[in-house]
Amino acid sequence: MSGDETYIKIRGKNHYVFFWSDPKTKIITSYTIYPVRDTKCACTSIYECLSHYSEIPDDMTLITDGNPIYNAAQVFFEINGIKFDLHQVIGVKNLDEESQKYRPFKQIEERLNRTYKQNYQGTNGYDRLECANSYMVLFVCFFNFLRRHSALNYKTPVDDGLFKKDMLMPDRWLQLIEYSSQYHAA
């Protein structure tokens, strides 16, 4: 899993979006907006990401930037019996082996951030956190269920026959809304 945080504006103040996704399947697994960028937020977002697994794989690897909040989060999880490898990509040049090896995964997350921010409310951002979260849910639904990715041979990350092949995008949105109205959390 790779993760990164970016900022958005809500009422002119920075808030931080923590994205986690699987670089192979392109599925966004965690996306939360926080008023600060700290270790607690990193831990919460990693927990959300890991909660998608019924059992955390022994070889779980998380790839992030060099922000020390991720080192502290790794220690927190290890104290609580959850282990994963953490690989940090430092800076914008490959000055160390780890950055060289994992930069392609980190760049996928950076592109996700750019795609997200490309369409969000500019200048002063959103009026309320609820508005930002509404947009976030719609963005993730689009990204995971509707957006075709060239890296996936122009399939969507979640491509399990939800839609008829020839459905137009507005019809896919309506179908997705219909599916969501039938969903009941366990």
Q: Return d(Cα 106, Cα 65) in angstroms, integer.
A: 7
What's the domain range around 119? 2-182
pTM for this model (two decimals):
0.83
pLDDT band at 72; cut points 50, 70, 90 = very high
Residue 180 pLDDT > 80? yes
Domain count, the chain: 1
Per-residue pLDDT at 41: 93
Per-residue pLDDT at 123: 58
CATH number, residue 134: 3.30.420.10
Mean pLDDT over residues 133-143, rounded?
90
Going through the chain in order, the beta strands assigned E by DSSP cover 2-10, 13-21, 28-34, 61-65, 85-89
Structure tokens of 14?
A: 């920075």
